[in-house]
Amino acid sequence: MNQESSPSRREFLKTTGTTLAVGALAGATIPAVHAAQDSTVQIALVGCGGRGTGAAQNALQVQNGPIKLVAMADVFEDRLSTSHKALHDKFEGQVEVPNDRKFISFDGYKNAIDCLRPGDVAIFATPPAFRWVHFKYAIEKGINVFMEKPVTVDGPSTRKMLALGEEAKKKNLKVAVGLMCRHCKARGELFDRIQNGEIGDLITLRCYRMHPPVGSAFSPPKHLWEESVASGAGGKKDGPASAKGISELEFQIRRFHSFLWASGGLYSDFYIHNIDECCWMKNDWPVSAQASGGRHFRNHMTPKEKGEDIDQNFDNYSVEYTFGDGAKLMLYGRTMVGCHDQFASYAHGSKGVGVISTSSHSPAYCRIYRGQKFTASARRGRGKASQQTLPPEENLLWSYPQPEPNPYDLEWEDLIRAIRQDQPYNEVERGAKASLVTSMGRMAAHTGQIITYDDILNCEHEFAPTVDKLITDGPAPLTADANGRYPIPMPGIITDREYA
């Protein structure tokens, strides 16, 4: 698979009129998928949880040419097996992953990528800590990439990702980042209208992600979690019970939202979309952030009589981002049961309000109102039928027609089109900056300090400096104390890093 073949295959994917032999694979002996090149874009899935399975599904639904899933890798066999069954059942003719192309190990990503050819795509959907490691190898092998957000979790990993993005550009690799809201047609038209002055000068943006606990954001002590899994009370993400027990590293990866090194915590993993879509509307990145936050409850997952949750997350965040012109972006995050829920983003201008998203990522139900009074919630069934029966909304100037195209599908259509037409396509810089700005707000809350863009970019606290050397039975990047507890943010006490 030498890189000199890459332009030929790119041309082949455009014309489907030539073939060339597959080069010999370096390193491990991997079974060849095809004896010769064809117009099929092949996919390797690295990280087979729900997010990876969803990304593979979106990829296989693209209609602009043949696509097949040919290799899969994960560190947990149950996740790979569950993902493979779901994808095979739905896309039987497009899923060709025999047992010798299923890889279970920390190095499995290399084996999966080695099954691909120039012009093919590797999906990276593991916990974000591993993103730069996997991306680096894909660049070495000349493979296009789709990587889920966030792509970094701290300053050092962001600097690595930005440098890798430039290397990918030099090789003309196509790289997509899973910030699918940027591909949303409704948001795209709203952006154009805001930039054309329809809401006046953009002064303030607001975004909310407030709901009950989600993912693996909160975790009980490891021994209680193991007891729960053994009793059958664990969720699908927790996997099956293990007779030999589970290592500390495996526990932290299973519960990756609970650990800052693995995911950037719930803040980075869940709030990045709202932050990014607001920055898009502003057409800029904030230069600083100040914040407050804390942990009201330590028994989201742990019975009070048995101790407290051990994760590193706060359960509420309030962040004020400032842009270079003084405009503000306010983020409100809360992960609690029994409280008011809200999941939306708004742009306030001197003449009106733009609704960026309404009650989830998709559909967005983008619209513009005159003045500052508007309907915040989604009107039930905002389609044509409901609009014929519901009274007009006060001050409504524009709304995107329904139904909206699904941005999860659109981001894949855009990537595959760029591959087949050999168009420049590299979302790394934007994805890395969105991840960094998200981390900036998180660090402001965790330290109690004003954090600037340069502060977070140049911060030397790398959460997992040995992430590229992790092995199944090796130590984890984060160590628990004698009571099974991990270091947590302490605003005002630990101020130069997010935890000691």
For 411-469, how does the pLDDT look when each residue is reduced to its tens digit (9 = 90+)? 999 999 999 999 999 999 999 999 999 999 999 999 999 999 999 999 999 999 999 99
* Measured distance CA(237)–CA(105) in Å, rounded: 18
Question: DSSP class of residue 116?
Answer: -
* Domain identity same for 82 and 120: yes
- The pTM (predicted TM-score) of the whole model is 0.91
Tokens encoding 43: 């996919």
Split at pLDDT 50, 70, 90, the class of 13 is low
* Domain identity same for 314 and 335: yes
Cβ distance 319 to 441 under 8 Å?
Answer: yes
Considering only residues 236 and 400, tell me which one the structure prediction assigns the higher pLDDT. Answer: 400
Asked whether residue 136 carries a pLDDT value surpassing 50, the answer given is yes
Domains contained in the chain, number? 2
| Residue 480 falls inside a structural domain | no
| Residue 227 falls inside a structural domain | yes
* Domain identity same for 235 and 376: yes
Asked whether residue 20 carries a pLDDT value surpassing 60, the answer given is no
Q: What is the pLDDT of residues 471-491, one digit of tens each?
A: 988 999 999 999 899 999 999
pLDDT at 390: 56
3-state DSSP percent of the chain in helix, strand and coil, to 5:
40, 20, 45
* Domain identity same for 228 and 158: no
* Domain identity same for 448 and 339: yes
* Domain identity same for 132 and 194: no
Cβ distance 207 to 278 under 8 Å?
Answer: yes
* Domain identity same for 105 and 243: no
* Domain identity same for 42 and 140: yes
Q: What is the pLDDT of residues 294-319, one digit of tens each?
A: 999 999 999 999 999 999 999 999 99
Q: State which residues form the domain around 38.
A: 3-181+411-426
Split at pLDDT 50, 70, 90, the class of 3 is very low
Q: Which residues contact 245 (CB under 8 A, 6 or more apart)?
A: 226
Question: From residue 327, how far is each of 255, 332, 356 by CA, in Å?
Answer: 37, 17, 17
pLDDT at 11: 57
pLDDT at 231: 86
* Domain identity same for 255 and 387: yes
Asked whether residue 21 carries a pLDDT value surpassing 70, the answer given is no
| Residue 258 falls inside a structural domain | yes
pLDDT at 455: 98
Tokens encoding 201: 């000068």
Cβ distance 281 to 347 under 8 Å?
Answer: yes
* Measured distance CA(457)–CA(436) in Å, rounded: 7
| Residue 64 falls inside a structural domain | yes
Asked whether residue 80 carries a pLDDT value surpassing 50, the answer given is yes
* Domain identity same for 207 and 320: yes
pLDDT at 311: 98
| Residue 66 falls inside a structural domain | yes
Asked whether residue 2 carries a pLDDT value surpassing 90, the answer given is no
Beta-strand relationship, 102-104 and 67-74: parallel
Written as one string, the DSSP assignment of 351-397 is: SEEEEEESSSSSS---EEEESS----SPPSS-SHHHHHHSPPPTTEE
pLDDT at 37: 56
* Domain identity same for 154 and 194: no
Helix pair 77-90, 50-60: axis angle to 10 deg: 30
* Domain identity same for 286 and 190: yes
pLDDT at 447: 98
| Residue 378 falls inside a structural domain | yes
Cβ distance 298 to 309 under 8 Å?
Answer: yes
What is the average pLDDT value for the chain, to the nearest integer?
A: 91
51-56: Cβ within 8 A, 24+ apart:
51/125, 51/148, 52/83, 52/123, 52/125, 52/126, 52/148, 53/82, 53/83, 53/86, 53/87, 54/408, 55/123, 55/125, 55/146, 55/148, 55/178, 55/412, 56/83, 56/87, 56/123
Q: Which residues pair with 292 in a beta bridge?
A: 318
Asked whether residue 129 carries a pLDDT value surpassing 80, the answer given is yes
Peptide linkage before 150 cis (omega within 30 of 0): yes
Pick from 442, 445, 495: nearest CA to 154: 442
Q: Which residues pair with 46 in a beta bridge?
A: 73, 124
The CATH number linked to 450 is: 3.30.360.10
pLDDT at 268: 98
Q: What is the pLDDT of residues 342-397, one digit of tens each?
A: 999 999 999 999 999 998 999 999 999 999 999 776 554 444 444 445 567 889 99
Helix pair 131-141, 155-170: axis angle to 10 deg: 20
